[in-house]
Amino acid sequence: MTIQIDSLETSTKKIIYSDKCKDILSLSVAEIQELFKSSGILLFRGFGVTHEQMKAFSKQFSSRFTRETNRTRVDSREGFVSLVAQGTHFIEPHCENANTPFRPDAVWFCCGVPPAQGGETLFCDGVQVWEQLSEESKQLFLSKKIRFDFIYSAEQWKHFLGAEATLANVKQMLEGLEGVSYFINEDESVSFAYACPAVIKTKYSNQDAFANNILNAKESVFFENGSPIPDTIISEIEEVTDRLTEEIQWQVGDLVMIDNSRFLHGRRSFSDNQRLIFSIFSYLNF
């Protein structure tokens, strides 16, 4: 295993290169776990990873996989490998599903076809974001939770729970969850509010991380009492996040493993129709 630590960048990202297109499944699970705990984001390059291999590799580190509400699925049998979010637009840095109580521990991406131009995956360390926010903003987010308000259509919750799911399953899933309140509408869509802290403890280092979905869901995020988050605060978060954001310029067969309790991810816009990135979301077993 060859590990390069990219010292030109500000983050803790580590790149693991394969010498001779080695099988990624031959890597030491224990070593990868330790590297992941300390760095929070690992890029595996030169292993020629396919989405089937990503599934097999991620399985070694995961207790279970989760689905998304709106992504195209690739593996028809289980439905846990998806294409990344559709469209070619810029996606603001965010933590996956952090606007719901179903935030996965890890986000996995692999590259089938790189974009011709643009389309880099962005990432940003929430620990660094928290360190660089102003004292006023920190005090605000320490004293107040944030709240996300969404409506999930029947189609969306069926995509998440499985095609046979019923409203009884929805109730069963949401009942008693901390921070959740919901209302089932006549058309079977679900109005849903989720209150949570904007700053959380990282899974492995117990550090404060500004790891949330504020920037990616600006129209649907409020403080818990329903008051808006002031524009000046949003601008400050954008400015700090921007400054700390780095990018992955995809090569065919790259695999990225991201700690979703610490790192935010996003994507630059692109204009071609060849970009093919696969994703998996999972809960970790270590």
Which residue ranges make up the site for Fe ion (CB under 5 A)? 96
Is the CB of 95 or the CB of 229 nearer to Fe ion?
95
Q: Which residue has the tokens 């207790």?
A: 63
Q: Are 24 and 44 in contact (CB under 8 A)?
A: yes
Residue 264 in 3-state DSSP? strand
Is the CB of 96 or the CB of 259 nearer to Fe ion?
96
Angle subtended by helix axes 135-143 and 231-244, to nearest 10: 110
- With 0-12 / 13-18 / 19 or more C-beta atoms within 10 angstroms meaning exposed / middle / buried, residue 247 is middle
Is the CB of 223 or the CB of 281 nearer to Fe ion?
281
Q: Shortest Cβ distance from residue 164 to Fe ion (Å)?
A: 26
- With 0-12 / 13-18 / 19 or more C-beta atoms within 10 angstroms meaning exposed / middle / buried, residue 257 is buried
Q: Shortest Cβ distance from residue 167 to Fe ion (Å)?
A: 27
Q: Are 277 and 112 in contact (CB under 8 A)?
A: yes
- Answer positive or negative: Cα dihedral of 228, 232, 236, 239: positive
Q: Which helix (H) or strand (E) holds 122?
A: strand 121-125
Is the CB of 96 or the CB of 125 nearer to Fe ion?
96
Q: Shortest Cβ distance from residue 146 to Fe ion (Å)?
A: 18
Q: Shortest Cβ distance from residue 25 to Fe ion (Å)?
A: 25
Q: Shortest Cβ distance from residue 215 to Fe ion (Å)?
A: 12
Integer Cα distance of 4 and 116 in angstroms? 26
Is the CB of 18 or the CB of 275 nearer to Fe ion?
275
Residue nearest to Fe ion (CB): 96
Is the CB of 96 or the CB of 208 nearer to Fe ion?
96
Q: Are 274 and 115 in contact (CB under 8 A)?
A: yes
Is the CB of 96 or the CB of 120 nearer to Fe ion?
96
If you compute the radius of gyration of the chain from its CA atoms, what whole number of angstroms results? Answer: 19
